[in-house]
């Protein structure tokens, strides 16, 4: 059944790669099955002998994916983070995966020493112009494969829980039609990035071009259905790892 759903999703939405895992009714929001499938997919890329640029997003699901990786030696690849690894209070962001992944696979890694969301567009632009950012920006632009989490927008969503947005800011952007986010970039139900001041403050790098990079989104759980649907319809991803419930939701509407 999962294989049939994956095939239908590929054909319906023009996705290049789809992996569907069984839904566990008792684990809504827990990324266990998706994390295992994501780790297997990431391991498949890491085992390729030719050098690759692998871009990584952030979040709880990707953290679970990296935790599932076996120790590997992959000096031929380069791992680059699309998002900052600094929390608003200046501490290391717990769900940024670049360091734990580099430790697991022993590959050169290129972090972003920035918060996910900064105080202004001017600050974001100034930080991106710093010489130490040049390599990460260039690598991300030419990534071969990208793994990203798809985040829900809610008053208790990750951007609020992790301190990047205040509850009142989240409430305002929800009223503007926010449906989901990837690496802090917030989009509406149609998948288009919102024309909102918060998006002007996102310091994450743009999602790599889907015409040249395999961009695999990972998410599961009813609370993420709206975000998954918007990400697919908006063309932000061309690969998807999710569960049966989300797959049926996508095919139904």
Measured CA to CA, the distance from residue 84 to residue 205 in angstroms comes to 9
Closest by CA to 236, choosing from 124, 149, 140, is 149
The stretches in the chain having pLDDT less than 70 are: 26-30, 94
| E-only strand ranges, the chain | 17-21, 53-56, 78-86, 109-115, 145-149, 151-152, 178-182, 185-188, 214-218, 239-243
Calpha distance 103→165 (Å, rounded): 30
The DSSP letter of residue 192 is: P
At 85 the pLDDT is: 83
Give the pLDDT confidence of 28-43 residue by residue, as tens digits.
656 789 999 999 999 9
Tell the residue number behind the tokens 């990707």, with chain if given: 62
User: DSSP secondary-structure letter at 222?
Assistant: G
């Amino acid at each position: 059944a999962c294989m049939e759903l994956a095939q239908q999703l590929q054909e319906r939405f023009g996705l290049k790669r789809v992996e569907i895992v069984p839904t566990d009714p008792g684990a809504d929001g827990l990324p266990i099955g998706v994390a295992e499938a994501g780790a297997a997919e990431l391991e498949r890329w890491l085992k390729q002998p030719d050098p690759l640029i692998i871009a990584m997003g952030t979040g709880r699901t990707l953290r679970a994916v990296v935790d599932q990786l076996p120790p590997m030696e992959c000096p031929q690849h380069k791992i680059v983070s699309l998002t900052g690894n600094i929390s608003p209070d200046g501490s290391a962001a717990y769900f940024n995966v670049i360091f734990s992944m580099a430790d697991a696979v022993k590959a050169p890694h290129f972090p972003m020493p920035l918060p996910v969301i900064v105080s202004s567009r001017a600050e974001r632009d100034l930080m991106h112009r710093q010489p130490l950012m040049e390599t990460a920006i260039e690598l991300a632009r030419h990534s071969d494969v990208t793994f990203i989490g798809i985040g829900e927008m809610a008053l208790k969503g990750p951007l609020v829980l992790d301190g990047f947005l205040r509850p009142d800011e989240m409430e305002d952007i929800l009223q503007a039609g926010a449906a989901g986010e990837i690496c802090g970039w917030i989009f509406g139900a149609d998948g288009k990035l919102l024309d909102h001041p918060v998006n002007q403050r996102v310091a994450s790098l743009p999602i790599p071009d889907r015409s040249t990079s395999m961009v695999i989104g990972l998410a599961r759980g009813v609370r993420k259905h709206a975000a998954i649907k918007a990400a697919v319809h908006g063309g932000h991803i061309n690969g998807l790892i999710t569960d049966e419930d989300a797959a049926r939701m996508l095919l139904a509407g």
